[in-house]
Structure 1
Amino acid sequence: MPRARTSPPRSCVAATRVQEEQRVLVILPDGPECVYAFLGAIWAGAVPVLVSTFLAPPDYLPFLRETRARAVVTTEAVGAALGADLRAALLAVGPGRSGSLWRAIEECPPAPEPFSTHPDDPAFWLYSSGTTGAPKAVIHRHRDIVHAVAAYGRHVLDLRPDDRAYATSKLFFAYGLGASLYFPLAAGASAVLSPEPFSAARTWTVLAEERPTLFFAVPSVYRALLEQAPRHAPQAVAGLRRVVSAGEALPPALFHAWQARFGQEILDGLGSTEALHIFLSNRPGACTPGSPGRPVPGYDVRVVDEGGVPVAAGTPGGLLVRGDSIAAGYWQRAEATRRTFRGEWLATGDQVVENADGSFQLLGRTDDMLKVSGQWVSPPEVEGVVATVDGVRECAVIGAADNDGVTEVVACIVCTADDHDDLRARVEHACGALPRFKRPKRIVLLESLPRTATGKIQRSALRARLGGTR
C-alpha cells in the first residue's frame, strides 16, 4: 500500500494517545477519510472498528460503549450528537477538507514505519449484519486480509494493476471492504468510492463515468439496475471483466436476465463477515445459475449433520468452512463464539447440498429452514419456483402458524401485476410441480420486502408481521 497515503493518519492516531491494540471507532461514509482512518489505525498498531453509517447519531452510543474505543473518527455532525457521552478522543471530518482529522493530517509528520505486529494480532473489527439478531463484533487478525487476497483475489478476480473496482456495498461491510479497499490496493489498482446510499440512477452514472473493470453488488441491486437501465447501459458496463454477486442467493432468473441484456455472467458466491469474504464462488466461463459455485482455493468445506458428522454428496446438511481468513471470534459473545467457531472450522449457519460436480446448492439459513408435516422445506427452492411466474418481482418464503397452530408455507410476494387474483392462480399452478408439503398454503402480497442494510431479506421481520413460526 502507498505509504504516502497511510502514514499521515498514523501520526494523527498517535496524537490522540491511542495505544497499540486499543480500538478506534470509525463512522464515516465511503471516501478518502474512511480509508485513511482504517489504514492509519492499523499502521499505528491500533484496531479500527468500522460501523454502519446508516444509523441515527444516538444509535452509535452502544457501539462506543461495547468497543471501549479510545478514539472516534466521524463526521462533525455525529461527533456533536455524541456530545457529553463521548469520552474518547475525537477526530472529526467536516465539509471539503475541513475538520480536526484533516488539520491533524496537515500538521503531523508522517511516520516512517508501521507498528510491528504478529499475523495473529487483532487488526480490525467488523459487525455482522444482524439478520438473526443483534449485530456481533467480529474480530479479524492481520493475516486474514492477506489470505483473502491470495485466495479470492487471485483465483477468482485475477487482480491486475489496471483494474478499477466499484462496489455498491459500503466499506463497513465485509463484502465492500474487500471489493473497494484491500483487493484493489493489493494489486496496485484503483477503486471508485461513492458515499451516497444506493440508487440505481446514481450507480448507472458512476458506471458510465468511471468505467470500472470489477463490479460488486447484491441481487437486489442487480434487479434494480435491470429495471432502471438507461439507453446507454450496455456501453456503461462494456468494460467490466468481473461482475460479482454475494450477500444472498442470486436467483437464476436474474443471472439469465443480466446475461441476456449485457452478455455478461454474474459470478455468484457465498461468504460471510466471519470468513471475511467469499469462500464459495462460480468461475468465469463456468457458472451454474442458482448455485454459489465451488470452494475457492485456500478454503476447505464440509457438509455435516446435526451431530457434526460429514454427510455424503447429495445429502442436505450444515456448511463448515476453514481457511486462514476466518475470524478469531466474537467480542464479548462467548457462547456464540463456541457455537460458530469450532476449532479450525467455521459453522456458517447455511444449509447446503453438495452436487455431483462439486458445486453446492444453497438451501437457506439454518434458522430459516421450515419443518412442515415432519419434512424439511428450503425457502430458496420454493422462491425459485415462484420467481418464474410473470408479474412476480420478489418473493420470500417463511413459515407461519395456521388457525390450529400448525406451521404452513407462506409466500410473501412483491408483484408488478395488476390482476392479483390471476397472479395468485398462476403462482399456485407453478407451485403444483412441488411436492405437496412444499407448496405455499398462503400467498401474501406486499409493497416491499424488509431488508437489512446489506440487502438481505429480513425473514424475522416477515415472521413477526405475519405471526410466523420458523
Structure 2
Amino acid sequence: MNMAELLRRSVGAGAKRPAVAYGNQVLQDYQSLAARASALAAGLRQRFALEPGDRVALAMKNCPEYLEVLYGLWWGGFAAVPMNAKLHPREFAYMLEHCGARLCFTTSDLSAAVGGVTAGLPEMLEVIEAGSSDYEALFSTGETTQPHPSGRDDLAWLFYTSGTTGRPKGAMLSHGNLLAMTACYLADVDAIAPQDTILHAAPMSHGSGLYLVPHVAAGACNLVPESGGFDAEEVLDLLQHHHGVTAFFAPTMIRRLVEHPATAAADLSNLKTIVYGGAPMYVADVERALGVLGNRLAQIYGQGESPMCITALPKHLYADRTHPRWRERIASAGQAQLLMEVAVVGEGDRPLPPGESGEVIVRGPAVMQGYWADAEATAATLAGGWLHTGDLGALDEDGFLTLMDRSKDVIISGGSNIYPREVEEVLLRHPGVAECSVIGAPDADWGEITVAFVVMRGGAEPDPQALDRLCLEEIARFKRPKHYRFIDALPKSNYGKILKTELRKLMESQTAS
C-alpha cells in the first residue's frame, strides 16, 4: 500500500480539514495538500522522466513544503531520502552519491551548499529550491489522479544512520514498514483525532517527519513553527493557538521546556502529548517533567532500522503511580509495540531470562528491508531474521525493557561490567547536577576506569566529594567514577543525543596536555 493512499483517504474523510499550518496560519487543507502532491508527481515524471523507485533527496530544514514534497514523491512511486539539514556538504555528497539520487530538494539556506557538491555526481539531474520559480513550475503540468500502486516491500524512505561506527548506512524502509509503524503508533503510543495537531519542532528528516504519517492518516494538522526548530517560548505561544497538540521531542528538548521560566505558569490545556525518544530519559528528569507538564509524556524506543517502533511506554502507565514498580517502569522503555517481538539475548543469540542483561533484538513488519547496497552489513544486522540493535538491556517478568547502554559504551573494569546509565542515574539525584555523561578511560591496572563529565546547575559549585559520597550510598564501590570532569555543556548531536565519542576525544586531549 502506497503511503500516499493514506493522504487520499483523509481527503475523502474531510477534504477541508487543516492539513498544514505555519506558525498561527493554516496554509493547506487536505484537498489542497493532495492536489499539490499529485501535481508534483506528474511534474517530476514529465520534466525529469523519473521512474518508480528512483531516489529523490530532501536537504530541507523544517518547512511547510516538506509535506507536499514527501507525499508528492510517494504519490509518484519515488523513494524519499530525507537528510539532516545540519550535515556538512561532504556528508550530503556521500549520501547523494551512495544512493544514486536523481534530484535533491532544498530549502534556501542549503541550496548553495548542496549545489556545490552535486556537479560531479553521475546520477544527479538537478537541485531544486523549495518555493523557487523552478519549484512552482513543477506543479503546472497537471495532476496524476491515482498514486502509483507501490507494494508493501517497495522503498519509501531511505534513512541514513548517524555513522558513529564508520560511514552512514542507508536503512531501507518500505511502504509496509511505515504502515506498520503507523499502526503501532495508533495502538501503543497515542490516539489521534482529526482535530488534533502535531508540532514539528524536531527535525522532519527524522522522528518528527516519520510521525507526520500517522497524523496524516488520521486527518490531523501538521504544524511547522516559523523558527523551523525548537524554541521553548515559541512552543508555549503556539499552544495558545492550536488544539490537541502532540510533539516528538528529544529528552534535551523536554528539559529545556521544563526549565523555561514561563512554562510553570503557562496554559498547557492544548498540549496533549509529548512523545520522546532518541535517547533514554533519566528518572529524575521524568519526574520533574511530570511535575511541570502533567501526565503528558509517552516514550518510544526505536532505531532508523525499525522506525520509532520497538517498544513504547504510553501515558496511562506514567499516570499509574500506585503500581508498586512505578519508578522501575518509568525508567524503562516500555513494552514491545503491538506488531513487534522483542528479546534479550546472550552469546549465539541465546534467549536470556528476565532481569539478565544482553543485546536487544527485534523482529516484525516495521523492521527495515536491509541496508542500501550493503549486503554484508544487512546479513550481519538481520542475522536469524532478527534486527540486532547493538543496544544492551533487560526484560522484566512483565515484558518491560530497561535499556542499559550501547554495547560499545559498556565499561569493563577489573572484569566487571559497568553500565554508564546506572551511574548517571545516581549522579542526577544530586540537586546541583544538571546533566552528566559517564564514559570509560583506559587504565593499566583495571583495564578501564569510570570517568564522569558533569554539568552543574547555575550557581552550584562543583563538589566531587559530595558526588562520590552519593555514589557510594547507591551503587557498588567499583562502579563509582574515579574522576569527575566539570564542563559547561555536553556535546550533542542535532537530535539531542550526547556524543560520547566527543567526550572521549576531550578526555584524550586533556590527558595529553
| TM-score category, normalised to shorter length | over 0.9
2:330 pairs with 275, 289, 296, which one? Answer: 289
| SS of residue matched to 1:216 | strand
Identity over the aligned pairs, expressed in percent?
A: 27
Counterpart selection for 1:382 from 423, 430, 448: 423
Q: Give the whole-Å Cα distance in 2 for the aligned partners of 1:239 and 1:417.
A: 31
Q: Which runs of 4+ in 1 moved over 6 A?
A: none
Give the structure-2-normalised TM-score: 0.85
Corresponding letter in the other structure for 2:120: D
Structure 2 counterpart SS, 1:467: helix
**Residue of structure 1 aligned with 2:468, choices 412, 422, 428:** 428
**Distance of 1:117 and 1:233 partners within structure 2:** 49
Please tell me whether the aligned partners of residues 24 and 69 of structure 1 are also in contact (alpha carbons under 8 angstroms): yes
Q: Kindly report which structure 2 residues correspond to 1:425-464, keeping only aligned pairs within 5 A, or say none.
A: 425-432=465-472, 433-464=474-505
Letter in 1 for 2:439: I
1:111 aligns with 2:144: yes
Supply the distance in 1 between the matched residues of 2:348 and 2:263 (Cα, whole angstroms).
54
d(CA) in 1 for partners of 2:231, 2:451: 30
Aligned residue in 2 for 1:323: 364
- 1:247-396, aligned counterparts within 5 Å? 247-287=278-318, 288-396=329-437
Distance 1:143 1:462 in 2: 39
1:419 shift after superposition: 5.6
> Does 204-213 or 441-450 show the bigger shift?
204-213
Matched, 1:127 2:160: yes
The aligned residue for residue 28 of structure 1 is: 60
Relative distance call for 1:339 and 1:122 in structure 2 (3 A) is same
> Counterparts of 1:84-103 in structure 2 under 5 Å?
84-85=119-120, 88-90=124-126, 92-93=128-129, 97-103=131-137
Deviation at 1:341, TM superposition (A): 1.3
Task: In structure 1, give the amino acid aligned to 2:499.
Answer: Q
| Larger deviation, residues 359-368 vs 155-164 | 155-164
1:105-148 CA-to-partner distances (Å, cap 9, x unmatched) read 1x110111122222112222011233444322111111011111
Structure 2: give runs of 5+ residues left out of the alignment: 1-6, 9-33, 319-328
1:349 CA drift (Å): 1.3
Query: Which structure 1 residue ranges, 5 or more long, are not aligned?
Result: none
CA gap 1:80/1:272 in 2 versus in 1, 3 angstroms: closer
Contact 1:23–1:70 under 8 Å retained in 2? yes
**Is the 2:172–2:372 contact (alpha carbons within 8 Å) kept by the matching residues of 1?**
yes
State whether residues 161 and 169 of structure 2, in contact with CA within 8 Å, keep that contact through their aligned partners in structure 1: yes
2:479 partner letter:
K
- The answer as to whether partners of 1:368 and 1:379 remain within 8 angstroms in 2 is yes
For the Cα contact (< 8 Å) 1:414–1:445, is it kept in 2? yes
Q: Quick one: structure 1 residues 386 and 35, their matched pair in 2 at CA, closer, same or farther if it must change by over 3 Å?
A: same
Larger CA deviation: 440-449 vs 55-64: 55-64
Shift of 1:396: 0.5
Q: Deviations over 1:224-245 (max 9, x none)?
A: 111114167531x322232211
Cα distance in 1 for partners of 2:492, 2:376 equals 27
* Structure 1 residues 358 and 80, CA gap change in structure 2 (3 angstroms): closer
Q: Secondary structure at the match of 1:463?
A: helix
Q: 1:437 to 1:166 in 2, by over 3 A?
A: same
The 2-side partners of 1:306 and 1:207 are apart by 49
> Structure 1 residues 7-16 or 59-68, which shifts more?
59-68
8 Å contact kept, 1:204–1:233: no
**Other-structure match for 1:71:** 103
Shift of 1:253: 1.1
Q: Which residue in the other structure is 1:190 paired with? A: 221
Question: Which amino acid in structure 1 is aligned with residue 245 of structure 2?
Answer: T
- Deviation, 1:153, is 2.2
Worse overlay, 130-139 or 428-437: 130-139
Q: CA deviation at 1:436?
A: 1.5
1:267-301 CA-partner distances (Å, limit 9, x unpaired) = 12211111011321112221322111111111111
